[in-house]
Amino acid sequence: MKSNHLLLPIVAGLVIGVISMRAEDPATSAPTVNPARPVPSQARHLALDILRPLAKEGFRIRDGEWSIELTKGEPRFLQVTLFSGERYLFATASPLQDGKLRITLFDAAGKEVKNEMPKGADPAAGGGCTLGVTEVAPGKSGNYFVRVELVESPGAGPCKISLVYAYK
Express each pLDDT in 107-141 by its tens digit.
999 999 987 766 655 555 545 557 788 889 999 99
Q: Please report whether residue 11 resides in a domain.
A: no
Q: Please report whether residue 90 resides in a domain.
A: yes
Q: Please report whether residue 32 resides in a domain.
A: no
Supply the pLDDT for residue 110.
93
* Domain coverage including residue 99: 42-167
- Span 40-66, pLDDT tens digits: 578 887 887 877 877 778 888 887 778
Supply the pLDDT for residue 124.
52
Share the mean pLDDT of the chain: 74
Give the predicted TM-score (pTM) of the model.
0.66
Confidence label for 36 from pLDDT (cuts 50, 70 and 90)? very low
Yes or no: say if 158 and 69 are a contact pair by the CB < 8 Å rule: yes
Q: Please report whether residue 108 resides in a domain.
A: yes
Question: Coil, helix or strand for 62?
Answer: coil
Give the total number of structural domains in the chain: 1
* CATH label of the domain that carries residue 59: 2.60.120.380
Q: Please report whether residue 36 resides in a domain.
A: no
CA trace torsion 71, 73, 76, 77 (10° rounding): 160
Question: Coil, helix or strand for 14?
Answer: helix
Task: Report the distance separating Cα 109 and Cα 89, nearest Å.
Answer: 21
Cα-to-chain-centroid distance, residue 2: 58
Q: Please report whether residue 96 resides in a domain.
A: yes
Q: Please report whether residue 120 resides in a domain.
A: yes
Q: Please report whether residue 65 resides in a domain.
A: yes
